[in-house]
Amino acid sequence: MAAFIIAEIRVTDRAEFEKYRQAVPAVIAAFGGRYVVRGPDRHWLEGAEPPSSRLVILEFPDMARLQAFWSSPDYAPLKALRERSSTCRIEAVEGYAP
């Protein structure tokens, strides 16, 4: 079953975050992941607007591949770069299969 990373991101250092944004797609793809949503264009419809400026949703084939990506040595330096250049709220969820 597909698994998703949902990230709400507030960029604090645009130049550094741009390095992350350019490098991370190849690592995501190497683990079978793909972007479902990527970007700052949000149109709030209801409820309190979140404090983040970007929303990213990644899809992986399953939770095992998602966890392999998250804990991989390939992602570790990029994760550190993201942590230095932004504040985030990130969660992993499994997809729905009726």
Query: Residue 78 — pLDDT band, cuts 50, 70, 90?
Result: very high
Query: Residue 17 — pLDDT band, cuts 50, 70, 90?
Result: very high
- Residue length, the chain? 98
Kindly report the pTM of this predicted structure: 0.90
Per domain, the residue ranges of the chain are 3-40+52-94
Average pLDDT score over the chain: 93
Tens-digit pLDDT profile for residues 29-77: 999 999 999 977 777 778 877 666 789 999 999 999 999 999 999 999 9
Non-local CB neighbours of 17 within 8 Å, separated by 6+ positions: 11, 81, 82, 85, 86
Determine whether domain 3-40+52-94 maps to CATH 3.40.50.300: no
